């Protein structure tokens, strides 16, 4: 009897596994032309329980026995199989036609009771002539030349179908085989898993050594316990988590390179044995602990039992990996936020520059155009369109307001570099920076910030970051040489980098020489990455030395003292006091003073006033002028009124004098009455 259950055995590397079919037919001498004689083995060992090795790549053993006759039919292409009544009784349920060089399936008459049929190692190209064997449970067509699965629709009782090592390109025509328990299709040319979803009783599916590139479409295989996919071209796996009974999965020797491509395996609660050896993923250092971390229910990995120590180590490494991922995710978020913020700052800067350019252009037009409007040029009329200008300004203004809602500046400390993006970043200099962080910063980078705004915070920069030696400017509107004068107030600069983007001053041929001349007291080492040589210093002095001398000699003393700082004032007074002393003594004292003070006094007169500061001073001067004008006008008005009163008094005085004399004469005419009146007035006053 054939057992009702079949069990596959995984993990045993054997080259030749017996299927348990000991009925072997072997060719003998042919006494007649139209008759083929075979010998049938008299031994009838029981059919073993183990049907399949996990790749089912094996050959069956052959034995010699009694005679069976194959007689050719009227149609020469289909021989007819005939067995004696004794043989039918002895081997009633099984028939083996192995290694008989058959090219077609013979016609089997009177064998409807067969349950096992073996056609191994022949040359059969098509499954046919077995539709009458409706009790068949086991059909073995291993190692033939079959190109299509067909002719099985009536075999509804079939439990085991072995079609390994054929030429099948597609899984098909299995609709009626709903009782199938084992399906072996290894060693074919199948490229896709399909048409198996109805096999709800299938326990073993072998698709090793095919042309599969991916695994999916496995829904419905609710009884599947073993799936062999070795030696394919698989790169990713899906739907395996939908197999509730799957215990063994063999994925050795494929093209799986990442656990993400097989992540569905982590959701399988039943999977206990799995193999990945021979895949790129198995070469990675994180391979084992990643698999164990995501598949805690595994008992064997790559045919090796998993120990508790390995699980513990995998758990520790998993925690570290998780922390690493969180940190990486955090860094990715920060990088993305940085990118978005910088893009926003760049857009805002661009809009500000456009607004400024439009305002400058409009001012030039207003100053250059005559009073009449429209004006005539070459006979044509040109007039400004306030509607267009207004709409453009309104659009830019609204855009700026919209950008102001999101992050408009960025402050970043990366190693020894402090990067400031956007004018709002300058406020960070007011923070309470730790001494360690502030001491580490040697490079300060300014991007998308007006240089005039940077000038206002240079004193803070000198105090907060005393070790800053390298300044970088990009998109800061450095447009004239005079702006470099503002950098003289810093403590020290070894390197200066002016990016051509957004800094037109670098288009001037001599800008580097002016920087070296004006900031010579810093003894700069590099400008824009180029080493500063002694010849550069000499050339800078020749080009701009006379400029500093003229600037200092033309200024009045009070103006010069107001420009210089406290240290410069002391130096300047010292220079004035040393006039008339002996040249040698003066030179020595001057050298000492230069070493103490650092910056040459002549160069110190070359300073820079920002536009905002200049505008403030201008407004202040206007206010003072306005006040003086009003004060003078009040004085003039008051003097005019006094003069008018004086002139009126001169005209009235003669008549007033006569009346005064007359009144006095009348009062003292009666002396006694006058004296009494005076005494009375004195008494009343008391």
As a whole number of angstroms, the distance between CA 426 and CA 447 comes to 11
Is the pLDDT at 482 greater than 90? The verdict is no
Contact in structure between 168 and 191 (CB atoms under 8 Å): no
Instruction: List all residues 6 or more positions away from 213 whose beta carbon is below 8 Å from its beta carbon.
Output: 191, 232, 233, 234, 235
Q: What is the structure's pLDDT at 531? A: 93
What is the full DSSP assignment across 215-256? E---TT-TT--EEE--SS---EE-SGGG-TT--EEE--SS--
Q: Between 43 and 272, name the one with better pLDDT.
A: 272
Instruction: List all residues 6 or more positions away from 47 whose beta carbon is below 8 Å from its beta carbon.
Output: 1, 2, 3, 20, 21, 116
For 279: left if phi > 0, alpha if psi spans -120 to 50, otherwise beta; the answer is beta
Highest mean pLDDT among 19-23, 109-113, 328-332: 328-332
Is the pLDDT at 572 greater than 90? The verdict is no
Q: What is the structure's pLDDT at 283? A: 87
As a whole number of angstroms, the distance between CA 171 and CA 234 comes to 17
As a whole number of angstroms, the distance between CA 656 and CA 316 comes to 119
Continuous H helices in 508-564: 511-518, 534-554, 557-563
Q: What is the structure's pLDDT at 599? A: 55
Mean pLDDT of 549-569: 60
SS3 content of the chain, % helix, strand, coil (to 5): 45, 15, 45
Strands 226-228 and 248-250: parallel
pLDDT tens digit sequence for 283-313 = 887 788 788 777 878 888 888 887 888 778 8
Q: Between 660 and 83, name the one with better pLDDT.
A: 660
| Lowest-confidence segment of 180-194, 275-289, 363-377, 584-598 by average pLDDT | 584-598
Name all contacts of 65-69 with Cβ < 8 Å and 24+ positions apart: 65/23, 65/24, 65/26, 65/39, 65/40, 65/41, 66/39, 66/40, 66/41, 66/42, 67/28, 67/37, 67/38, 67/39, 67/40, 68/25, 68/37, 68/38, 68/39, 68/40, 69/35, 69/36, 69/37, 69/38
Q: What is the structure's pLDDT at 337? A: 84
Q: Between 85 and 479, name the one with better pLDDT.
A: 479
pLDDT tens digit sequence for 209-263 = 999 999 988 889 999 999 999 999 999 898 888 889 999 999 999 999 888 888 8
Continuous H helices in 241-369: 287-294, 308-368
Is the pLDDT at 41 greater than 90? The verdict is no
Is the pLDDT at 673 greater than 70? The verdict is yes
| Lowest-confidence segment of 102-116, 275-289, 354-368 by average pLDDT | 354-368
pLDDT tens digit sequence for 154-166 = 888 899 999 999 9
pLDDT tens digit sequence for 311-367 = 788 778 778 878 888 888 888 888 888 888 888 888 888 888 888 778 777 666 665
Residue 293's nearest CA partner among 268, 264, 321, 272 is 321
pLDDT range class, residue 282, cuts 50, 70, 90: confident
Sign of CA dihedral 249, 250, 252, 256: negative
% of the chain with per-residue pLDDT over 70: 73
Q: What is the structure's pLDDT at 208? A: 96
Q: What is the structure's pLDDT at 5? A: 38
Q: What Rg do the C-alpha atoms of the chain give, in angstroms?
A: 54
Q: Which residues pair with 63 in a beta bridge?
A: none
As a whole number of angstroms, the distance between CA 179 and CA 134 comes to 13
What is the full DSSP assignment across 618-651? HHHHHHHHHHHHHHHHHHHHHHHHHHHHHHHHHH
Averaged confidence pLDDT in the chain: 76
Is the pLDDT at 23 greater than 90? The verdict is no
As a whole number of angstroms, the distance between CA 204 and CA 161 comes to 11
Q: Between 560 and 513, name the one with better pLDDT.
A: 513
Q: What is the structure's pLDDT at 577? A: 55
Q: Between 324 and 371, name the one with better pLDDT.
A: 324
Mean pLDDT of 562-572: 53
pLDDT tens digit sequence for 600-648 = 666 766 777 766 666 676 777 888 888 898 989 899 999 999 999 898 8
């Amino acid at each position: 009897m054939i057992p009702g259950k079949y069990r596959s055995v995984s993990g045993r590397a054997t080259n030749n596994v017996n299927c348990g079919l000991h009925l072997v037919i072997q060719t003998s001498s042919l006494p007649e032309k139209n008759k083929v004689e075979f010998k049938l083995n008299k031994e009838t060992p029981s059919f073993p329980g183990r049907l399949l090795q996990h790749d089912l790549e094996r050959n069956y053993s052959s034995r010699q026995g009694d005679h069976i006759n194959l007689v050719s039919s009227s149609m020469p292409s289909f021989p007819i199989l005939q067995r004696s009544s004794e043989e039918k009784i002895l081997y009633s349920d099984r028939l083996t036609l192995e290694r008989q060089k058959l090219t077609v399936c013979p016609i089997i008459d009177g064998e409807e009771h067969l349950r096992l049929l073996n056609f191994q190692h022949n040359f059969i190209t098509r499954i046919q002539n077995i539709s009458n064997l409706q009790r068949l449970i086991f059909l073995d067509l291993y190692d033939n030349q079959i190109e299509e699965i067909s002719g099985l629709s009536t075999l509804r009782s079939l439990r085991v179908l072995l079609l390994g090592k054929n030429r099948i390109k597609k899984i098909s025509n299995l609709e009626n085989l709903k009782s199938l328990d084992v399906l072996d299709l290894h060693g074919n040319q199948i490229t896709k898993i399909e048409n198996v979803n109805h096999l709800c009783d299938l326990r073993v599916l072998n698709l090793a050594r095919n042309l599969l590139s991916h695994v999916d479409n496995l829904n419905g295989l609710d009884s599947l316990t073993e799936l062999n996919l070795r030696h394919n071209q698989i790169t990713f796996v899906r739907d395996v988590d939908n197999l509730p009974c799957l215990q063994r999965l063999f994925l050795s020797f494929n093209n799986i390179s990442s656990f993400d491509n097989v992540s569905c395996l982590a959701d399988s609660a039943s999977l206990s044995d799995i193999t990945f050896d021979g895949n790129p993923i198995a070469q990675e250092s994180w391979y084992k602990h990643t698999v164990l971390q995501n598949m805690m229910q595994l008992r064997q990995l790559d045919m090796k039992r998993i120990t508790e120590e390995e699980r513990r180590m995998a758990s520790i490494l998993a925690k570290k990996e998780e922390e690493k991922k969180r940190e990486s995710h955090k860094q990715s978020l920060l990088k993305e936020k940085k990118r978005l913020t910088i893009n926003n700052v760049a857009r805002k800067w661009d809009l500000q520059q456009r607004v400024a350019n439009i305002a400058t252009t409009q001012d030039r037009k207003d100053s250059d155009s005559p009073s009449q409007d429209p004006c005539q040029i070459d006979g044509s009329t040109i007039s400004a369109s306030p509607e267009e200008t207004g709409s453009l300004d309104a659009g830019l203004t609204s855009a700026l307001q919209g950008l102001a809602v999101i992050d408009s500046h960025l402050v970043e400390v990366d190693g020894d570099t402090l990067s400031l993006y956007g004018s709002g970043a300058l406020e960070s200099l007011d923070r309470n920076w730790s001494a360690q962080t502030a001491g580490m910063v040697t490079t300060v980078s300014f991007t998308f910030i007006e240089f005039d705004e940077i000038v206002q915070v240079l004193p803070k920069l000198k105090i907060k970051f005393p070790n800053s030696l390298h300044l970088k400017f990009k998109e800061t509107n450095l447009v004239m040489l005079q702006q470099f004068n503002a950098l003289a107030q810093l403590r020290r600069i070894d390197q200066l980098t002016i990016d051509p983007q957004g800094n037109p001053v670098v288009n001037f041929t001599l800008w580097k020489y002016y920087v070296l001349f004006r900031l010579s007291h810093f003894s700069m080492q590099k400008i824009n990455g180029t080493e500063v040589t002694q010849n550069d210093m000499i050339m800078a002095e020749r080009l701009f030395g006379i400029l500093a001398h003229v600037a200092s000699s033309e200024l009045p003393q009070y103006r010069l003292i107001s420009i210089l700082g406290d240290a410069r004032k002391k130096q300047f007074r010292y220079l004035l006091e040393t006039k008339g002393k002996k040249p040698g003594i003066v030179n020595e004292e001057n050298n000492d003073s230069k070493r103490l003070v650092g910056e040459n006094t002549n160069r110190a007169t070359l300073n820079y006033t920002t536009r905002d500061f200049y505008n403030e001073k201008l407004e202040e001067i206007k206010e003072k002028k306005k006040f003086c004008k009003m004060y003078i006008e009040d004085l003039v008005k008051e003097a005019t009124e006094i003069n008018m009163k004086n002139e009126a008094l001169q005209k009235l005085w003669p008549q007033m004098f006569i009346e005064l004399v007359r009144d006095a004469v009348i009062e003292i005419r009666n002396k006694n009455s006058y004296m009494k009146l005076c005494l009375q007035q004195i008494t009343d006053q008391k």
